[in-house]
A and B are shown apart, each in its own frame.
Chain A
Amino acid sequence: MTDKNVDLGVQFGPLKLANPIMTASGTCGYAFELRDFVDMDRLGAYITKSITLEPRMGNKPQRTYEVASGMMNAIGLANVGLDKFIEEKIPLLEKMNVPVIVNVAGKEVPEYVKVAKEVSAQDCVAGLELNVSCPNVKEGGISFGTDPKLIQELVGSVRQACPDTFLIVKLTPNVTDITVPARAAIDAGANALSLINTFMGLAIDAEKRKPILANRTGGVSGPAVKPMALHMVNRVYNEVAKDAGIPILGMGGITNATDAIEFILAGATGISVGTNVLINPGCLNEIEVGLKEYLIRHHETKLSDLIGKLK
């Protein structure tokens, strides 16, 4: 068998993707920032950095910190804001040869709705990923993601405003039971779920007796969180998403094709790479090659046959 005989294609909601590999919001810019390092045409889909209604300059530095097998960040959703995004970034995204999904964040429901409506009206946008889970901004973000009622209100409002838009909801792992917000999002009209955003953490400088990040807390990502991410993807797949027919975009510490296969076996239809793109941007293309090699080695022809096939 050669790699011509294997099919990495997946059906992610309404999107037929050539492969399951996507960027993770916040680690890949707004369009072609990675193109010197990554063949963007070989992605399954491209997911942008979060967009908010107003520009945000982000938190004071220090904004990131390396931890054992990962990193922490508290960027604070630094972004150009909706107007500049539409004016400057959409023309770039129109040139993208793979489906474009725009990540949307906000402080309150009307802001999410306004951004979602305007962004989803752009022809080049194939779907939205609602960030209800940013741990690094004071208002909004994670406070939505940890309260199922707020998730329902938010997702329901966006669904109402954008009835035909492919809507992914990105959940926070900072909850006791991940199936609760997952159900809330699906009940309110989510077409897919992204699992997981970062874990809230604290890094301390013992000498100075101060937090290392200016924001005090930050989100932990990278290989350190992979076991928890796999567990959450698998739980949501088994207990909520499989029966609801809702695909999962799995992420959390993926660095190579083996990690990606693990997420697919756990129940993910798509996979996103975030932290490792900051370290080894070329991994986005390496994973595509590695997935094919895995299928050949296991005498499989279709990657989608492996979704949720954890024994």
Chain B
Amino acid sequence: MNQERIARRGQFQGVIVSHCPFGQGYNSLIIRFEGIASVTIAKAQPGQFVQVACGPAGITKGTTLRRPFSISGVTLDGDTTCLEIIYRIIGPGTEALANMSVGDMIDVLAPLGQGFKLPKDPDAKCLLLGGGIGLPPMFFLADRLAQQGVDRVGFAAARNIEVVQNDIVAEAIVDNPLVPSKAMKHFNASDTGSIIASDDGSCGFKGNILEALEGFLARHPDWNIATMYACGPEPMLKALALFAQAVDMECQVCMEAYMACGIGVCQSCAIELAGGERSYKLVCAHGPVFNGREIKW
């Protein structure tokens, strides 16, 4: 290997320093890395992801594929870097991950994929739109935009107030009177505040996230020049991307796909592109962040 070439990604082992519930059914996992791993992972960008071997590092990993998780935060602290993922337990991989404890070593491929394109203009405005497990990359993005001093508004979608009170959405919301005990710093530090949309109106705006966004833009016409950043269920992304096209706003969507390698070699995670002839890009290598116009919805 050319030692002079500084790798932009790698296979690293870190130690779990925190592993705790984050809303009902979700866990937050924080892994600390040292040395080259720390340097490499500190460069991770919002929207990038990690491939996690969901079992103790060093043990034969041949029986289970890695699981991809978007990065919800990266903190450089001296010579170490802490990386956070927030995940939901949905199958054997995430169940095995949930059984890992603080102090365990864990093996990751990181950081992977192409992240969000951040605004270069300090006067830019950013709309962060997250639904369910699509929220974690928005936390990372919100954090990075806050560091840059970029104006931003966070939108979180939920089905109803129970979901909001128990769900990852609650953790995302700042200063929401309905969920005071859950008020967290994750999503938003904007003067404008964060907006929650619930399908039945039991919490925040009644309607879906697109309707909430449309209402917001009607009330704040100066935000029509904003860039949309979205992650969540595909129907939500589709609705947002098509809306963005219709009103000529830029919309970056963070996509999900069934993945094996996560590093561009197996070609599992093909996503069909808009346009005449059938063609694909790979979510793991060309994405997971795409311009909403690129995708065939």
Contact = CB atoms under 8 A, between A and B. Distances in A.
B267 A71 contact: no
A171 to B, nearest CB: 22
A61 interface: yes
Nearest to A55: B279
A37 B62 contact: no
Contacts of A33: 263-265
A71 B260 contact: yes
Interface stretch (A3-11, A235-243, A276-284): A276-284
Given A35-B1, A279-B53, A282-B11, A58 B63 contact: no
Chain B, interface residues (CB within 8 Å), range: 20 to 34
A41 B1 contact: yes
B64 interface: yes
Nearest to B66: A279
Chain A interface SS verdict (over half): loop
A49 B258 CA distance: 20
A69 B66 CA distance: 13
B265 A34 contact: yes
Given A37-B11, A280-B53, A281-B11, A61 B257 contact: yes
Interface of A: 26-29, 33-37, 39-41, 49, 57-58, 60-66, 68-71, 73, 75, 78, 222-223, 253, 255-256, 275-282
A280 B62 contact: yes
B290 to A, nearest CB: 15
A62 B258 contact: yes
B43 interface: no
Contacts of B279: 57
A58 to B, nearest CB: 6
A49 B265 CA distance: 9
B266 A26 contact: yes
Interface string B254-297: 00011111011111111110000011100000000000000000
B8 to A, nearest CB: 7
A27 B268 contact: no
Given A61-B270, A280-B61, A27 B1 contact: no
Contacts of B207: none
A64 B1 contact: no
B62 A61 contact: no
Contact of A255 (B60, B261, B278, B280): B60
A71 B65 contact: yes
B7 interface: yes
Given A41-B1, A64-B260, A222-B62, A27 B269 contact: no
Contacts of A281: 11, 109, 261, 263
A251 to B, nearest CB: 13
Contact of B1 (A28, A40, A75): A40
Interface in B5-46: 7-11
Contact of B61 (A68, A70, A73, A255): A255
A78 B1 contact: no
Nearest to B280: A57
Contact of B65 (A26, A63, A68, A279): A279
B63 A69 contact: yes
Contact of A29 (B257, B265, B271): B265
A63 B268 contact: yes
Contacts of B1: 35, 39-41
Contacts of B269: 61, 63
Interface string B178-207: 000000000000000000000000000000
B141 to A, nearest CB: 24
A278 B62 contact: no
A188 to B, nearest CB: 30
A66 B62 contact: no
A58 B270 contact: yes
A37 B269 CA distance: 20
A220 B102 CA distance: 35
B50 to A, nearest CB: 13
A100 B74 CA distance: 39
A28 B61 contact: no
Contacts of A34: 263, 265
B265 A255 contact: no
B258 A279 contact: no
Q: Report which residue of A37, A40, A222, A256 has the largest number of chain B beta carbons within 10 angstroms of its beta carbon.
A: A37
A40 B272 CA distance: 32
B266 A61 contact: no
A28 B265 contact: yes
B264 A61 contact: no
Contacts of B66: 279
Identify the 9 closest CB pairs spanning chains A and B, nearest first.
A255-B62, A64-B268, A278-B261, A39-B1, A29-B265, A36-B7, A64-B260, A278-B260, A280-B61
Nearest to B109: A37
Given A36-B9, A222-B62, A73 B260 contact: yes
B59 to A, nearest CB: 10
Contacts of B61: 255, 276, 279-280
Contacts of A253: 62
Contacts of A28: 265
B40 to A, nearest CB: 9
A37 B268 contact: no
A209 B297 CA distance: 24
Given A41-B1, A278-B260, A75 B267 contact: yes
B10 A36 contact: yes
A65 B65 CA distance: 9
A57 B63 CA distance: 29
A35 B263 CA distance: 11
Interface string B103-144: 000010100000000000000000000000000000000000
